[in-house]
Each structure stands twice: as C-alpha cells, then as structure tokens.
Amino acid sequence: MLTLRNEYACFDGTVGFYSHTSQLCHSKMNFSVYIPPQAKAGPVPVLYFLSGLTCTEENFTTKAGAQRYAAQRGIMLVAPDTSPRNTGISGENETWDVGSGAGFYVDATTDPWRKHYQMYSYVTEELPRLIQANFPVNDRASLCGHSMGGHGALVCGLRHRDRYRSISAIAPIAAPMQCPWGQKAFGLYLGEYEADWRAYDASEVVRMQQHDYPILIDQGESDSFLAQGQLLPEVFEAACQEANQPLTLRRHTGYDHSYYFIATVIGDHIHHHGDALYR
C-alpha cells in the first residue's frame, strides 16, 4: 500500500512523495513521482532517476529542475531513495559511503546486509511493478543517474536491455571495481570474491550486454572525484569501444560534481530519453 506524504503542483503536473513497505528490502522505502500534464489524457512513458551517495528521493526532485523538460516531453519522473533506512543493522549510519544513503544498487549477498540491501532488484523489479500498478504509465521506460546512481543506471540498463529504451548518466562511478568507493562497498555487500563483483561493474557488463541505442554520459572536468580516481569514465569509454557500444561522452570544462552541473545538463538528458521513449 502506498502512502502519499506530500504533493505539489508543478508545470501543470504534480510532484508527489510516497512511502511503502518493500517486500524485497523488508523496510519502508520512499520515492518521488512527477506526473506530467500529458498523463491526464492517457498513459505516458517513465524515466527512473537514480541518485548518488548520501542522497534521498528529494535531492533530484527539488534541485535538478527536470520537471520543466519532463512536462515538455510528456515523461513521468520517478526517483527512489538510495537505500533502505533504519533497519537496525550495526554500523548502518556510521559512514557516508556504506549503509544508509549508499545502497550502490546491488543485491547484497553478505550478512548483515542481504536481508535489507536489495537495491538492484528493488529498482529493476519491485519499484517498476509498483509504478505500473498505481500510476498512468505505459510500458516504455528509461534510466538516468548521477554518481553512484549513474553506476546504477548503467548497470541496470545494460543488464535489462529489454526493459529500458535508453540509458544516460551524469558523472557516474563508471568502473567501481577499480575505485575506492566501489571496492569498499562491493567488499562489504558482495564479499571478498571479485568475480562476484563483475555483474555490478558497467565497464565489465558492457562487454557482455551492449545496449542497442547510444548511451549519453556527461562529466565535469573540475569534478574533485574525477581527480581522485573515483569515477573513471575513460575506463568505461574504452570498454564501450571494445564492445562496439555506441557512447556519447561529453566532458565539460569548469563543472564539478554538484547539482549545479546536473541542472546544467539535465535538459539534454530528458530530451535524449524523450527521443527514445517516443520513437
């Protein structure tokens, strides 16, 4: 059962914030939905936006300015929270890059995480079923994400080519097996065997699961996490070239990792997905 927490008028549509009890994550999960004005006349396609470390369902919804473009293109926007919360797991709230706000869009296989941290299946299975059952959407869907969520969008989209019409990412963690954030999270959620990590690394998955349409990635060149070796877009770019996966990787001078960058490029991403969703 869905609980509507708040609702607001926005560009002739509505933004709603919802909660429900997740059967996969065994906890309350939150998400936001922007319903564009075109949904009054019939079902519309949906774009799922996956947010980054420390974010909730509110960051993208309130900061990115995406609703203006979604209203123009007739696209519903859905933004889930980035992890289960308040599960009682020891250490869940001790660090910002593992636990609360840091689900990494994987299905955890180790204790104590595996009972609740099933974000991959939540995003690709449970949440879409919930949206289909309760909102005016058709069967066309796409994925976008930022940072940790960019990693999630790439992996989920590549592994489910039959479900998503298009994929894009903004400053994604593009090769998590090779960066400190990914190594820490994967080690804790998935265990010590790196062979088990490959299914959640876009730079590995793309060699086996290419997408039919071009992937769009935007990366700011003044992003401190780029300089720290956390994002590694060049690794994903090389993997796409090897796999013959079409990729548009745009590098932007002067832009960082913040929502100022997301707000700058989000219109291009909405139009990228709109072209695919209405093709």
Catalytic residues: 147, 223, 257
Joined tokens for residue 271: 């139009």
Max Cα distance, the chain (Å): 51
Amino acid symbol at 93 = N
Q: In Å, how far are 74, 222, 235, 248 from 238, measured between CA atoms?
A: 34, 21, 5, 12
Joined tokens for residue 146: 């930022």
Q: Quickly tell me which residue has 């689900």 as its tokens.
A: 103
Say how far apart CA 50 and CA 72 lie, in whole Å: 21
Alpha-helical regions (H) of 27-82: 57-63, 67-73
Q: Quickly tell me which residue has 């990115």 as its tokens.
A: 64
Best CA proximity match to 53, nearest among 157, 170, 153, 181: 181
Amino acid symbol at 63 = K
Angle at 87 between CA 82 and CA 91, to 5 degrees: 85
